[in-house]
Chains A and B, each alone.
Chain A
Amino acid sequence: QKEVEQDPGPLSVPEGAIVSLNCTYSNSAFQYFMWYRQYSRKGPELLMYTYSSGNKEDGRFTAQVDKSSKYISLFIRDSQPSDSATYLCAMSASGEYSTLTFGKGTMLLVSP
Chain B
Amino acid sequence: EPEVTQTPSHQVTQMGQEVILRCVPISNHLYFYWYRQILGQKVEFLVSFYNNEISEKSEIFDDQFSVERPDGSNFTLKIRSTKLEDSAMYFCASSALGQGAGGYTFGSGTRLTVV
Contact = CB atoms under 8 A, between A and B. Distances in A.
A42 B42 contact: no
B42 A104 contact: yes
Given A99-B56, A104-B41, A41 B102 contact: no
Interface string A80-111: 00000000101010111111111111000000
A44 B106 contact: yes
B76 interface: no
Interface residues of A, number: 26
A45 B106 contact: yes
Contacts of B44: 102
Interface in A56-85: none
B100 interface: yes
Interface in B66-115: 89, 91, 93, 95, 98, 100-102, 104-109, 111
Interface residues of B, number: 29
Given A41-B89, A45-B106, A46-B104, 14 more contacts: A36-B106, A41-B111, A43-B4, A43-B91, A43-B107, A44-B106, A46-B102, A88-B43, A92-B101, A96-B98, A97-B50, A97-B100, A100-B35, A102-B43
Contacts, number: 65
A86 B110 CA distance: 18
A45 B4 CA distance: 11
A96 B102 contact: no
A21 interface: no
B7 to A, nearest CB: 13
Interface centre among A34, A42, A94, A98 (most CB of B within 10 A): A98
B48 A99 contact: yes
B42 A32 contact: no
B11 interface: no
Interface string A42-58: 11111001000000000
Interface in B33-61: 33, 35, 41-45, 48, 50, 55-56, 58
Interface in A18-47: 32, 34, 36, 41-46
